[in-house]
Amino acid sequence: MLLLYFKISPDGKAKIQLQLVLHTGESTTFHFANESSALKDRDATKELLQQLLPKFKKKANKELEEKNRMLQEDPVLFQLYKDLVVSQVISAEEFWANRLGGINNTDPAVVNNKQEVGISGAFLADIRPQTDGCNGLRYNLTADIIESIFRTYPAVKQKYSENVPHNLTEKEFWTRFFQSHYFHRDRINTGTQDIFSECAKQDEKGLKSLVIQGVKNPLVDLLSLEDKTLDEGYGICTTLPSTSNANKTVKESSNSAIIKRFNHHSAMVLAAGSRKGEAPTDQASETSSTDGNSRDSDFFQPPVKKVKLQEAIEYEDLQRENRPKTVALNLKKSDRYAHGPVPLQSQHYTTSQDIINSVNYIRHEMMNYKPNLTEVLSSTAASSAIAALSPGGVLMQAGAQQAINQMVPTEVQGELKHLYVAAGELLRHFWSCFPVNTPFLEEKVMKMKSNLERFQVTKLCPFQEKIQRQYLSTNLTGHLEEMLQTAYSKFHIWQTRRMMRKT
Amino acid sequence: MKLNIEGLLVYFPYDYIYPEQYSYMLELKRTLDAKGHGVLEMPSGTGKTISLLSLIVAYQRAFPLDVTKLIYCSRTVPEIEKVVEELRKLMEFYAKETGERNNFLALALSSRKNLCIHPEVSSLRFGKEVDGKCHSLTASYIRAQRHVNPNQPVCRFYEEFDAVGRQVPLPAGIYNLDDLKDFGRRKGWCPYYLARYAILHANIVVYSYHYLLDPKIADLVSKELAKKSVVVFDEAHNIDNVCIDSMSVNITRRTLDRCQNNVDTLQNTIQKIKETDAAKLREEYRRLVEGLKEANVARETDIYLSNPVLPDEILKEAVPGTIRTAEHFVGFLRRFLEYLKSRLRVHHVVQESAPQFLKDIFDKVCIDRKPLRFCAERLQSLLRTLEIADIADFSAVTLISNFATLVSTYSQGFTIIIEPFEDRTPTIANPVLHFSCMDPSIAIKPVFQRFQSVIITSGTLSPLDIYPRILDFRPVTMASFTMTLARTCLCPLIVGRGNDQVALSSKFETREDFAVIRNYGNLLLEMSAVVPDGIVAFFTSYVYMENIVASWYEQGILENIQRNKLIFIETQDAAETSMALEKYQEACENGRGAILLSVARGKVSEGIDFVHHFGRAVIMFGVPYVYTQSRILKARLEYLRDQFQIRENDFLTFDAMRHAAQCVGRAIRGKTDYGLMIFADKRYARADKRGKLPRWIQEHINDGSLNLTVDETVQLSKHFLRQMAQPFRQEDQLGLSLLTLEQLESEEMLQKITQIAHQT
């Protein structure tokens, strides 16, 4: 049962009610009848729901999305859904009941087989504001951009799930976001209370921990580049270290804020792209964990260093290539290559030596071949055998039958296919009930039986009539009917047996 | 392969060789034969290091008495480690070819921070902390105290090394920093002291410039290195600045305050010692009367590398009587300190020479030149006598005493500038006394004098003749090598105009010009759409980059660039920049592509290579002139003009162009690599600028690409990149830019090779 949203009755009303609206569209209304504490109870329930709703909303949406995705990606399933659910042969829940679970449990790889899409570095550029003519700005936000913002700045996402929808509406949230100095980093913090100042702090922290963590590649570590720095006081230093924040102009510090921001932004975009399957963990935990084992980098350093040094001193062209000589791929007909490999008839590969051997063998055999002329067929017998085996001959009667795809128009074929799929699905449900050993299954088998009957009446019969009208051979549906009959008879056997047991 | 370089058998650990490598070895051999110094420029990424090592190792084996040691100086720790790895490769090749392990000992030496294995000390983050902590555990008197007080903590690694390590020489082999640490851990010896000890008998030493050029360190580490050594300065395009840095001193009010504390501490310690152990001070006094004779003898008998801070003359004399007793010396320091304080109380800028300064100090506080000259030496002696545990605490007073010695020793080549405030913030008093060296030859002179061959080499040393002039030495060979190419894998383009014909330049007058900034942005935007993987852009200074980035942000250019690539920007914080760099490489690696905005003369431009896909294009926004308004620079320019007849503009352009060449050269490594080099300033087209680029870049600039618009640049780049993206195989190079031994030995090729070296 997935809750979509809930309503409460206005405060002044005599009846104190709470209505839950589910995703399926059904709704349930609770009436708080306890005179004394009705209002309090309702409010408590409301509070609880309010807290729980955002948590489950994600899950609910995810499930809906999942179903949606499955339907979109699988046209056969979609057709089946249309055939069975939309035409109300079975209910949606029955349809999904073992489908969704099955797939989720058995094959998670299939669900995640979609390749992760990286984030455009310029997603913030795509929301360039446009003036709307009356002193306002319009920002264009799409779901993609929001997704990008969330993935790049987990802190914003956290804020979002904390505040929307119970503190702010979605629109208000984004308006505040665009107004915040967090978005406009070149504006110096004016000290206004905005919900994003915390994000900025968190980013700062993340950046700092990234910096402290240091770099793995010793060749780019600028800190340990210099071997012996001059002692303080020696050397001709042009910029003295006394340039503290105090004597920096506002402009300068805003400039360096921009630079910091770009570095951070690029790093986050890069990180969001490489955080593959795993859900984007919130940054705080990620950095704290990396903080904890920053000493580990020392431990891992030597191999990285060795490899990088070797890479750096290698001259590939001065070395003779030691690899076995390979022949460059030279395509004469590139279209053949583009069409992909042709499946080989047998999995058995032979080496060239084998081929040469066998050719030799055959040649040898051929040379020694002596026809045994006393045991051959007479020419009449041979020709009659050939005639019998030719199309139209005695032995080839069956082959004269034309294939179904030449007899029946394509749309009928398509329809037939759908019917087969739908019937197959229903029958699968039906047969999966056996052996019937629980009351639930009993109920289900009854229902499935009626489903099958309904299918026969609403789908199969109209189709039969249709092909009759088109003067096509009626035994097209023969097999389908046969399958249904088998199911019915099984059902009857089961039912009679059950009756007998009961009596 | 085995090569014959004018009769010398050289093992070269590869199957093929670049013609320029052969040519380079030829020139190097001639330099060594002549026992002279050389300046050699060879394009980055043509295997300079391995050529150097192959030849010198072969030379050492052939003439073990003529060349006993190779001292290889590089700039950064990764560079040092790379050199050792290449050496390892060479030695493995030797072992394979000759079938015997030779008894070569080669090792890298670095600061304690990179070598320490003491669990507590090595966990410290900064080099200075490590040095200080190490000193507090290993100083001689600390260890002496341990005999009395066994609870005194000492470093067990050092103790072990001191007890056993000195007797057993380090077994032959190649030791990188990590190998030394491993060896140290196995034996329980301190790798740092082991390495410092082992360099005396090692055949090859690889370490950083400072160990030879900085007198404070050279005196400790490199003093006793053999005279018959070959010294190589790799990546030497900035060697003059390293020299100058090591001899310059800055004194701020904070330094003086800390110095005051130091002097007070000294005073108290002396008082205490006097009460407990007066004999110690008397002993010191006696020693000082003896004078510095020992050092003098050592230097005359040619055992020591001379120290420019400790000039020859003072070695012959005894410490003057006025500062011989400890109290007198402390009093002397106090007076000197007070004088410096009074000098820092100025309200306007003062610039004077060393003699002027000496005259003034004599007039004001009656300090003579002579005791000043002994100041550094006398302080060292005092610190030793007083058994000061933490030398790092006394850095301020050491600085002041070094200053005193330098200012009284050199009447030429230095200038004193006292600035009461920073130029940008005239309201905030922040007085600084700059004692700045203007003559790089002072610091490097002992090196040229002592060692028989000094090789200065880099990918960018043009124009070659300027280095002998500013470093004041006479090379026997000077050569610049080109890069033979089977395909033109570098594409230098000079962008002079925007699409709207606005002249592009970073010169001061148009620096804030909106149109120029917009066109620069446009260039980057367009390039970001056509160049695959990584683009590196360099700006002339950090402030300039900040301003441009801000206005690009306002104009929305950066956001458009983000559609194509991620943007990373160098900041003034090294740790932050390292992070950005790594992310940049990650973005190039995973195919997203990225842009790195960086600063010429910054850490990135000096130490990081952008090979292959990490840098398919380098854009140089503007000409990276040094900040010309600085008084120190002005003084230096004046000095160069008066002493070396180098005109100011020539030097400034030379300096700007070597940095520009450094920046763009970062993108090319080897002949299989390729990259665009975009010079976005119309001034690059002028002959005086262009002519100062290295020959291997210059010769690929054709007249058609001198003043391109942005659109034209994009078209040319597209064409270039499309060509470069075609497969490039070894066969394509063979015989042209890559030679087998047979090809190398052909008469015709040898003819060609002689043309590769461009003598000046």
CA neighbor of A302 nearest in space, from B177, B651, B212? B177
pLDDT number for residue B150: 82
> Would you say the C-alpha torsion B192, B193, B194, B195 has a positive or negative sign?
positive
Beta strands in B422-527, from DSSP E residues, in sequence order: 429-437, 453-458, 475-481, 490-494
* B677, B667 Cβ separation under 8 angstroms: yes
Are residues A240 and B430, on separate chains, in Cβ contact within 8 Å?
yes
Number of C-beta neighbours around residue A43 at 10 A: 15
* B676, B531 Cβ separation under 8 angstroms: yes
DSSP codes, A465-503: HHHHHTT--GGGTHHHHHHHHHHHHHHHHHHHHHHHHH-
Helix (H), strand (E) counts: chain B: 36, 21
Q: What is the DSSP letter of A456?
A: I
CA neighbor of B117 nearest in space, from B157, B174, B61, B171? B157
pLDDT number for residue A122: 77
CA–CA distance, B435 with B632 (Å, rounded to integer):
9
Which residue did the predictor score with more confidence, A237 or A234?
Answer: A234
Query: Among A258, A263, A306, which would you mutate to test the B interface (most chain B Cβ atoms within 10 Å of its Cβ)?
Result: A263
Q: What is the DSSP letter of A125?
A: G
CA–CA distance, B694 with B458 (Å, rounded to integer):
10
Instruction: Tell me the angle at which helices B514-530 and B542-555 cross, rounded to the nearest 10 degrees.
Output: 80
Question: How far is Cα of residue B85 from the mean position of the Cα atoms in its chain?
Answer: 20
Residues B340/B341/B343/B348 CA torsion (nearest 10 deg): 140
Residue A454, class by beta-carbon neighbours within 10 Å (0-12 exposed, 13-18 middle, 19+ buried)? Answer: middle
Residues B212/B218/B221/B224 CA torsion (nearest 10 deg): 90
Phi-psi region of B561 (alpha: psi -120 to 50; beta: other; left: phi over 0): alpha
pLDDT of A447 > 70? The answer is yes
Q: Does B208 touch chain A (CB under 8 A)?
A: yes
pLDDT number for residue B29: 94
Q: Does B46 touch chain A (CB under 8 A)?
A: no
As a whole number, mean pLDDT of residues A321-338 equals: 66
pLDDT of A175 > 60? The answer is yes
SS3 (DSSP) at B115? helix
CA neighbor of B332 nearest in space, from B322, B342, B320, B317? B322
Q: Does B594 touch chain A (CB under 8 A)?
A: yes
pLDDT number for residue B240: 92
Residue B13, strand partner residues: none
As a whole number, mean pLDDT of residues A437-446 equals: 83
A282-299 b/e with 16+ CB inside 10 Å = b? ebeebbeeeeeeeeeeee
CB nearest to A317's CB, from B567, B573, B671: B671
Alpha helix segments (H runs only) across B222-309: 239-247, 253-276, 278-290, 293-300
Are residues A318 and B80, on separate chains, in Cβ contact within 8 Å?
no
Token look-up 């009854």 returns: A446
Give the minimum alpha-carbon distance from B320 to chain A in angstroms, rounded to a whole number.
27
CA neighbor of A121 nearest in space, from A217, A262, A317, A278? A262
* B155, B190 Cβ separation under 8 angstroms: yes
CA–CA distance, B504 with B511 (Å, rounded to integer):
10
Residues 6+ apart with CB under 8 A from B732: B486, B487
Residues 6+ apart with CB under 8 A from A133: none
Token look-up 């050529």 returns: B51
pLDDT number for residue A133: 66
The phi, psi pair for A434, rounded to 5°, reads: -90, 145
pLDDT number for residue B351: 92
Closest-CA residue in chain B for A233? B250
Closest-CA residue in chain A for B128? A231
| Chain A positions in Cβ-Cβ contact with residue B255 (cut-off 8 Å) | 233
Give the minimum alpha-carbon distance from A194 to chain B in angstroms, rounded to a whole number.
24
**pTM summary value:** 0.76
| Chain A positions in Cβ-Cβ contact with residue B548 (cut-off 8 Å) | none
pLDDT over 90 for what percent of chain A?
1
Q: Which residues of chain B have a pLDDT value below 70? A: 291-306, 308-316, 389-392, 759-760
Question: Would you place residue A298 in the very low, low, confident or very high pLDDT band (cuts 50, 70, 90)?
Answer: very low
pLDDT number for residue B108: 94
pLDDT digits (tens, 9 = 90+) for B594-626: 999 999 988 898 888 898 899 999 999 999 998
Beta strands in A9-81, from DSSP E residues, in sequence order: 17-22, 27-31
How far apart are the two ends of chain B, measured CA to CA in Å? 31
Beta strands in A219-313, from DSSP E residues, in sequence order: none
CB nearest to B17's CB, from A225, A235, A318: A318
Residues 6+ apart with CB under 8 A from B452: B35, B67, B227, B228, B229, B230
CA–CA distance, B614 with B589 (Å, rounded to integer):
8
pLDDT digits (tens, 9 = 90+) for A243-286: 444 455 677 778 888 888 888 888 888 888 776 544 333 333 33
Alpha helix segments (H runs only) across B140-176: 140-148, 156-160
As a whole number, mean pLDDT of residues A479-492 equals: 88
Phi-psi region of A192 (alpha: psi -120 to 50; beta: other; left: phi over 0): beta
Give the minimum alpha-carbon distance from A409 to chain B in angstroms, rounded to a whole number.
51
CA neighbor of B79 nearest in space, from B131, B114, B54? B114
CA neighbor of B713 nearest in space, from B489, B528, B527, B563? B527
3-state secondary structure B506-572: CCHHHCCCHHHHHHHHHHHHHHHHHCCCEEEEEECCHHHHHHHHHHHHHHCHHHHHHHHCEEEECCC
Angle at A257 between CA A251 and CA A259, to 5 degrees: 110
Beta strands in A204-348, from DSSP E residues, in sequence order: none
CB nearest to A223's CB, from B178, B578, B632: B578
